[in-house]
Structure 1
Amino acid sequence: MSRNRCDGLLARVDFPLYTLQTLTNRHVLVAGGGGASNTGVANGFEIFEISHNGSRFVAEEVMRHETGPNVVMTCSVNSAQNRTYLAAGQESHCQLYKVNIRMVDAAEMRRGSFRAENGLVRRRRRTVSENDNISKKDSNSNTTEKRISFEIRPIDSVQTDFGDDPLQRVVRVSHNGKLMATGGMDGRVRVWSFPKMQLLFILDAHTKELDDLDFSPCDTQLVSIAKDGFAYVWSTASKKAPLLKLTCQPPNGNKYLFRRCRFGLIEDEKDAYRMFTIANPLARSGAARGLLQLWRDGSLQRSVLLPESLASLAVRDDGRFVGVGTMFSGSVDIYVAFSLQRVLHVQNAHMMFVTGLEFLPVRGYGPPIASRSEAALLSISVDNCLCVHSLPCRSTVPAWVAILLIVFVLFCTFTLCSYLGI
């Protein structure tokens, strides 16, 4: 099934977006910027609260934090042990932020004024069409009702890449909040203690710049991919040789390079997980068909060829769905994880390539958003847009209809038997 691009538009910001993270079941952080050049384009973060008004998803800006001349190209959020941290890649360094979650009077936020992290009073900006019932909600709301707000405060910074032209390309924090992995132009994977950011060891196997990293759900393994065409699976306990060395195995025999990697849970098996990768052809001649692959225990399980090159990958926190974003048309697809069957296609979701994807979580902090969707996938791009793409719940027959059908079938059966004298 397909949907029109405008159906998914949640918000527009005033800078290009490069990275996307969920903070709670209802809050999402986007980051990016125009870089250090004097273009007048800001660099920083924005946090939005996502909700569903009964007919569509809507977003409201909660706060904004600008990072001066430093563009944020990659980031990772961790909420563990009653604390939330944000690790952000800024040039050759990783900047650590403490994210303070606080409760604010809901009516005050709706009317627009609350105090931001810099002490200034900001207006809460609605980024979708105005809700006609806002004033009614304010008059009927309980004065003790509270809503979540955030403060982002910089804590520490550490250099994570030491190449000739150093640049941190990827950062990932483990699920338990004890480890951080970074990769950059020098091809080395560095594993740090978190949140102290003290270097523990270096994993040195790749020969070219890193493209992606991910921790397994139980945090015992770390996967890294780079432009040398290899994916390595490491143990997080030591700097020994990699546990697995994987190469892309396309069905058409062409040369492919991995671009993104993600682990995903297996619902019906305890402590079991799969790994998903996307890859693009090395040669640029001819039709550049992207490749989505499913791995388990180092063995390739399934492959799907897509019509164009791929840019981004996401797996829902319960492991049921996989999302991919394309390089040229800005399209977004959702697949069933275990079968790689496509269940949603959104053509031209963005005007440019998709830089980030995240599913609205179902196991995160706070109650999930109530909607008529089986899954909802958020996407960003350098077109400054944050969009949502929802997968409608599969239609089911109501119980009363099923009972009527059973009664009707039984009646017809008895009538036929009487007619035949059986």
Structure 2
Amino acid sequence: MAPKTGMLLAKSDFPMYTVKSLDERHFVVAGGGGQAKTGVANSIEIYELRATEDGYMVSSVCRHDVGPQAPMNSACAFDGRNHLLAAGMDDECHLFSIKYKVISPSKKDQKTTIDSLKRRNQPDDKSETQPNGTDTNTESDSAKHISFEVLNLRTVTTDFLKGGGFQKCVQFSPDRSILATGGGDGHLRVWKVDDFTKLHDIEAHKTEIDDIAFCPKGKRIVTVSRGNTFSVWNTADGKRHMDVEWPGKAGMHRFRACRFGVRDGSLEKGHNLYTINIPVQRSSKPDPCFLAQWDGETFKPRLIMNAGTEVLSAMAVSPDGVYVGVGMMSGSVAVYISFSLQKLYYVKEAHNIFVTGLSFLPVSESVAAVSDAQDFSLLSISADNTVRLHQEPTRASYSAVVLIVGLLFMIAALFWILAHMGL
């Protein structure tokens, strides 16, 4: 079980700005030092998460340096065989292919492994594993293992702000055929994934677009900017569907991020939109931030929860739609139950600096084997170069039949006691 402080999985040599789960055991992070000549690399790195007797082990299985630009935001899609990663780097979107690759050790590697195992059995063996759980041994595993190959497929300029554009967000459509980008010039641009043909160029907002979300059915795109409204667009023709105002006092809060999530684990039961809203201005007496749930079809507010005065910086929704995770400028991390917005988990200052990204691991039987029967497994990253794992043990549950039988047994026992007492 992960500690309540959030388990430190890995520490990188570059600040991380985006994290995405690839599958049940692998996740990708990206970031770097940008174009400043500080010696900090700009990289995409893929890790494997494994269960051990003492907890978890994380190993870096692939690293791809991307040149002078740092990936600052990303989206990931899976076509059944390989993954696509769209990464925002300055004013461009770079599309990468992430292909699975099975590595078979050579005879030389196997001999090295055998020799290393012999050395480990010696009393003076000093090989270690870092406290954060990252494997520091350099010997190859004698068995086959999965690695990845990262290829840059194509690049397109996605933002044209005068004086220097910057892409701030990107998302794939549910069917992976198109992607949407937004950034400094306030334009929502929609592209075909196959060749980066531009389908729509919409002057969506007067200020930079902070976040984008496709609805699960792919018919609508939601954008949020530095204001007290979010906008909904028709995916097919790019026309404005509606604008939705924050129900609170105008000018006090602005939208920061948006994400869709299915209801009760099934798209057939509908879907919700979740947003985080932060104060427009900071004061000596800080105003609260809010987590809100909206109907995914009508975009009417359903629930609004006071999320405290720590300023929210990131949000993620679990693949089954059950949990909403939020990260904060203070480095804290919290998880809410989506249908009630009840806070389930909270770690104060899990990171030393603001949380830059969150991603839930997919829910499956193999994940349960790795995560040791946890309700959720949430990854968080920060500019402090660390990846942390947040988990909550599965809550005990009892069926209605068991409860009824237990109640009947208690009533029968009570009557038996009363009868023996002559009452």
Given the two structures, how large is their TM-score scaled by the length of structure 2?
0.85
**In the alignment, is residue 262 of structure 1 matched against residue 263 of structure 2?**
no
Deviation at 1:59, TM superposition (A): 1.5
> Which residue does 1:357 correspond to in 2?
358
Deviation at 1:249, TM superposition (A): 2.5
> Which of 299, 316, 325 is matched with 1:323 structurally?
325
> Which residue does 1:247 correspond to in 2?
245
Where 1:272 maps in the other structure, the secondary structure is strand
Deviation at 1:155, TM superposition (A): 1.5
Where 1:415 maps in the other structure, the secondary structure is helix
Determine the C-alpha separation between the residues in 2 that align with 1:79 and 1:68: 25
Q: Is the 8 A contact 1:10 1:388 kept in 2?
A: yes
Deviation at 1:288, TM superposition (A): 3.7
**In the alignment, is residue 187 of structure 1 matched against residue 213 of structure 2?**
no
CA distance 1:105–1:408, shift in 2 (3 Å): farther
Q: Is the 8 A contact 1:312 1:324 kept in 2?
A: yes
Where 1:170 maps in the other structure, the secondary structure is strand
Deviation at 1:420, TM superposition (A): 5.1
Where 2:340 maps in the other structure, the secondary structure is coil
> Which residue does 1:341 correspond to in 2?
342
> Which residue does 1:162 correspond to in 2?
160
Determine the C-alpha separation between the residues in 2 that align with 1:354 and 1:395: 31
Moved more, 175-184 or 219-228: 219-228
Deviation at 1:91, TM superposition (A): 0.8
Deviation at 1:226, TM superposition (A): 1.0
Per-residue deviation, residues 66-95 of structure 1 (Å, max 9, x unmatched): 112111101111102533211111111111
Q: Is the 8 A contact 2:11 2:132 kept in 1?
A: no
Deviation at 1:127, TM superposition (A): 7.8
CA distance 1:289–1:95, shift in 2 (3 Å): same
Deviation at 1:96, TM superposition (A): 1.1
Where 2:268 maps in the other structure, the secondary structure is coil
Deviation at 1:247, TM superposition (A): 2.1
> Which of 256, 270, 273 is matched with 2:271 structurally?
273
Determine the C-alpha separation between the residues in 2 that align with 1:216 and 1:398: 34
Determine the C-alpha separation between the residues in 2 that align with 1:415 and 1:349: 55
Amino acid at match of 1:59: V
Per-residue deviation, residues 171-222 of structure 1 (Å, max 9, x unmatched): 1111211011001111000000113211011122311111000111121111
> Which residue does 1:302 correspond to in 2?
303
- Stretches of structure 2 that go unaligned for 5 or more consecutive residues are 114-128
Deviation at 1:416, TM superposition (A): 2.0
> Which of 310, 313, 324 is matched with 1:311 structurally?
313
Where 1:249 maps in the other structure, the secondary structure is coil
Determine the C-alpha separation between the residues in 2 that align with 1:369 and 1:106: 29
Deviation at 1:129, TM superposition (A): 4.2
**In the alignment, is residue 71 of structure 1 matched against residue 70 of structure 2?**
yes
- Stretches of structure 1 that go unaligned for 5 or more consecutive residues are 113-124
CA distance 1:231–1:253, shift in 2 (3 Å): closer
Determine the C-alpha separation between the residues in 2 that align with 1:358 and 1:166: 27
Determine the C-alpha separation between the residues in 2 that align with 1:394 and 1:95: 42
CA distance 1:406–1:105, shift in 2 (3 Å): farther
Q: Is the 8 A contact 1:100 1:151 kept in 2?
A: yes
> Which residue does 2:39 correspond to in 1?
40
Moved more, 193-202 or 31-40: 193-202
Where 1:237 maps in the other structure, the secondary structure is coil
> Which residue does 1:120 correspond to in 2?
none
Amino acid at match of 1:27: H
The correspondence of residues 13-412 of structure 1 with structure 2, limited to 5 A, is: 13-53=12-52, 56-105=55-104, 128-129=132-133, 146-164=144-162, 165-240=164-239, 242-250=240-248, 255-267=252-264, 270=268, 272-285=270-283, 286-296=285-295, 297-305=298-306, 306-327=308-329, 329-362=330-363, 367-370=366-369, 371-396=372-397, 409=410, 412=413
Query: How many residues align structurally?
Result: 395
Determine the C-alpha separation between the residues in 2 that align with 1:418 and 1:258: 66
Amino acid at match of 2:161: G
Amino acid at match of 1:311: S
Determine the C-alpha separation between the residues in 2 that align with 1:197 and 1:321: 33
Deviation at 1:229, TM superposition (A): 3.5
Q: Is the 8 A contact 2:293 2:301 kept in 1?
A: yes
Q: Is the 8 A contact 1:51 1:369 kept in 2?
A: no
Determine the C-alpha separation between the residues in 1 that align with 2:259 and 2:293: 10
Determine the C-alpha separation between the residues in 1 that align with 2:235 and 2:53: 44
Per-residue deviation, residues 118-165 of structure 1 (Å, max 9, x unmatched): xxxxxxx9784488xx99x97xxxx7x643211101111110111112
Given the two structures, how large is their TM-score scaled by the length of structure 1?
0.85
Q: Is the 8 A contact 1:8 1:387 kept in 2?
A: yes
Q: Is the 8 A contact 2:59 2:134 kept in 1?
A: no
